[in-house]
């Protein structure tokens, strides 16, 4: 009998001074949520070398990890909505449809597509790989090195050692304005907390019965009996994906503090609330949800914690009035969706012809030359941001950030030709494809 060869080993010890691994890119994107993915793919299409960084272990951020289940802010309002976000969305929607992972439903006077997260995360991975984007996962930002208003590099900690990431242009798509904050630029935070949500999926229920439950009747039941089950939030939704035997549940509210110990505690609280929501569904709708069980808990979904102080701050009056700024880079019709109370959500819906706009100035930190914020890092008051921090506008902001940095080159994003930027983003400002 022949002997099996045993692999050889060697002994090593970490050097006293760890030399960072140097990574160089044209465009550096911090945060691999939907706005960061959009920025990275857009920059790669422009021929730029792109590095994409995230502290998590998979791409997609909350869109793939928080069990969101719905694609909000992609359509106009009215009886025949048209799409208002294009670019990356075109390929994403096409792939989800091919994989039978997209279901369009009516709600809030618009279309709200339901999607399956596991299909989206694979599409994102494949698209990022095909684009030749350098990806660093599990990489935590430690330090930002800058000269005046110009970012030079990011120092990252990884389990494999330190990394210095150098770039010409930078996108803060971190969700918490981590890059802007670490760079020493001004940021905002809410005085009173904006509630996050831990969403989850369930299985083992009567799907036809779940789809027949009237949403407003369930809201009333939550308000009347929620205290009996220890529920913090007294409104919310169950979205059953047709034909898949699973549903997404959105009925929790959790504070999301920016402190080292707070996130884990908040996530545990969110899962405890989710368990009590299942008790409510079983107890109040036994014929439909009597055998329901949690299929998967999402990661804690965070809405608004910290964001930049931009050259412009989007106001709720501008949103309500549908003001189109001279430097507008996207349009949106999603309602004001302000989660500023534990017990419920403040909704303020808009009419059929309503559109509001995000100005480019709300995406640029006041003192920065080569840094653009995208997604929920952009500037505005809490009510205004609550209408533009959903996935559609966040994706459009990512595209705008990449295009702006491409136009700026080695110059400043504060001095780019806004008309040229809007020309590149014309689809997200003018195009009106209908389903």
Asked if residue 349 is part of any domain, the answer here is yes
Q: What is the CATH number of the domain that holds 136?
A: 3.50.50.60
In this structure, are residues 238 and 257 in contact, taking their beta carbons and an 8 Å threshold? no
Are 271 and 359 in a shared domain? Answer: no
Question: What distance in Å separates the CA atoms of residue 120 and residue 255, rounded to the nearest whole number?
Answer: 27
Asked if residue 211 is part of any domain, the answer here is yes
Are 418 and 284 in a shared domain? Answer: no
pLDDT tier at 16, thresholds 50, 70, 90: confident
Asked if residue 9 is part of any domain, the answer here is no
Are 185 and 149 in a shared domain? Answer: yes
Are 101 and 204 in a shared domain? Answer: no
Q: Which domain holds residue 276?
A: 200-297
Measured at the alpha carbon of residue 331, what is the angle toward residues 61 and 120, in degrees to the nearest 5?
30
pLDDT tier at 373, thresholds 50, 70, 90: very high
The 10s digit of each residue's pLDDT in 391-402 is: 999 999 999 999
Instruction: Tell me how many domains the chain contains.
Output: 2
Asked if residue 8 is part of any domain, the answer here is no
pLDDT tier at 167, thresholds 50, 70, 90: very high
Last residue of a domain, one of 245, 278, 297: 297
Last residue of a domain, one of 297, 314, 331: 297
Question: With pLDDT > 90 as the criterion, what percentage of the chain qualifies?
Answer: 92
Question: What distance in Å separates the CA atoms of residue 423 and residue 291, rounded to the nearest whole number?
Answer: 54
> For position 1, what pLDDT does the model report?
61
Residue 404 has pLDDT above 90, yes or no: yes
> For position 215, what pLDDT does the model report?
86
Mean pLDDT of 268-276: 98
Asked if residue 250 is part of any domain, the answer here is yes
Residue 17 has pLDDT above 90, yes or no: no
Last residue of a domain, one of 297, 321, 340: 297
Asked if residue 4 is part of any domain, the answer here is no
In this structure, are residues 124 and 64 in contact, taking their beta carbons and an 8 Å threshold? yes
> For position 160, what pLDDT does the model report?
93
Residue 27, beta-bridge partner list? 50, 169
Residue 386 has pLDDT above 70, yes or no: yes
Are 137 and 219 in a shared domain? Answer: no
CB atoms within 10 A of CB 205: 22
Residue 382 has pLDDT above 80, yes or no: yes
Are 180 and 214 in a shared domain? Answer: no
Asked if residue 261 is part of any domain, the answer here is yes
Are 185 and 330 in a shared domain? Answer: yes
Mean pLDDT of 325-352: 96
Mean pLDDT of the chain: 96
**Structure-token pair, residue 48:** 């730029």
> For position 15, what pLDDT does the model report?
86
Helix, strand, or coil (residue 376):
helix
The 10s digit of each residue's pLDDT in 244-270 is: 899 999 999 999 989 889 999 999 999
**Structure-token pair, residue 273:** 């609330």
Residue 2 has pLDDT above 80, yes or no: no
Asked if residue 195 is part of any domain, the answer here is no
Mean pLDDT of 365-394: 97
What b-and-e string marks burial along 393-421, b requiring 16 or more CB atoms within 10 Å of the CB?
Answer: bbbbbbbbbbbbbbbbeeeebbebebeeb
Are 166 and 74 in a shared domain? Answer: yes
Are 69 and 120 in a shared domain? Answer: yes
Are 280 and 181 in a shared domain? Answer: no
> For position 3, what pLDDT does the model report?
86
In this structure, are residues 229 and 285 in contact, taking their beta carbons and an 8 Å threshold? no
Using the structure block, give the residue that is written with the tokens 């802007």. Answer: 180
Are 149 and 246 in a shared domain? Answer: no
Query: Is the pLDDT higher at 107 or at 282?
Result: 282
In this structure, are residues 14 and 36 in contact, taking their beta carbons and an 8 Å threshold? no
Are 314 and 268 in a shared domain? Answer: no
| pTM of the complete model | 0.95
pLDDT tier at 281, thresholds 50, 70, 90: very high
> For position 18, what pLDDT does the model report?
83
């Amino acid at each position: 009998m022949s002997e099996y060869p045993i692999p050889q080993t060697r002994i090593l010890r970490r050097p006293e001074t760890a030399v960072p691994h140097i990574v160089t890119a044209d465009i550096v994107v911090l945060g691999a949520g939907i706005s960061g993915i959009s920025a990275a793919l857009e920059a790669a299409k422009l021929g730029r070398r792109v590095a994409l960084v995230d502290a998590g272990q998979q791409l997609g951020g909350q869109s793939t990890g928080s069990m969101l289940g719905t694609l909000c802010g992609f359509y106009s309002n009215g009886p025949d909505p048209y799409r208002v976000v294009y670019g990356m969305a075109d390929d994403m929607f096409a792939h989800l449809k091919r994989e039978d992972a997209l279901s369009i439903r009516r709600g809030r006077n618009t279309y709200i597509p339901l999607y399956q997260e596991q299909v989206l995360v694979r599409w994102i991975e494949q698209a990022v790989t095909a684009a030749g984007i350098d990806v660093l996962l599990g990489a935590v930002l430690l330090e930002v090195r800058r000269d005046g208003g110009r970012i030079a590099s990011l120092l990252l900690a990884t389990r494999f050692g330190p990394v210095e990431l150098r770039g010409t242009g930078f996108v803060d798509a971190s969700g918490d304005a981590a890059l802007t904050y670490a760079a020493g630029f001004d940021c905002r935070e809410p005085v009173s907390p904006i509630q996050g949500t831990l969403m989850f999926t369930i299985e083992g229920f009567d799907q036809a019965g779940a789809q027949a439950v009237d949403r407003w009747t369930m809201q009333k039941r939550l308000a009347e009996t929620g205290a009996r089950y220890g529920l913090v939030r007294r409104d919310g939704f169950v979205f059953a994906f047709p034909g898949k035997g699973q549903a997404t549940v959105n009925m929790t509210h959790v504070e999301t503090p920016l402190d080292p110990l707070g996130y884990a505690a908040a996530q545990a609280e969110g899962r405890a609330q989710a368990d009590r929501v299942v008790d409510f569904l079983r107890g109040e709708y036994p014929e439909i949800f009597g055998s329901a069980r949690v299929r998967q808990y999402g990661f804690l979904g965070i809405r608004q914690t910290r964001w930049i102080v931009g050259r412009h701050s989007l106001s709720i009056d501008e949103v309500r009035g549908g003001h189109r700024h001279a430097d507008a880079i996207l349009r949106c019709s999603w309602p004001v969706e302000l989660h500023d109370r534990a017990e419920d959500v403040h909704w303020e819906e808009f009419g059929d012809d309503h559109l509001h706009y995000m100005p480019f100035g709300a995406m640029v930190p006041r003192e920065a030359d080569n840094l653009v914020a995208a997604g929920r890092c952009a500037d505005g008051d809490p009510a205004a941001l609550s209408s533009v921090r959903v996935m559609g506008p966040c994706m459009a902001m990512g595209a705008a950030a990449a295009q702006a940095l491409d136009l700026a080159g080695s110059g400043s994003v504060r001095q780019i030709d806004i008309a040229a930027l809007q020309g590149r983003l014309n689809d997200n400002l003018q195009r009106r494809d209908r389903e």
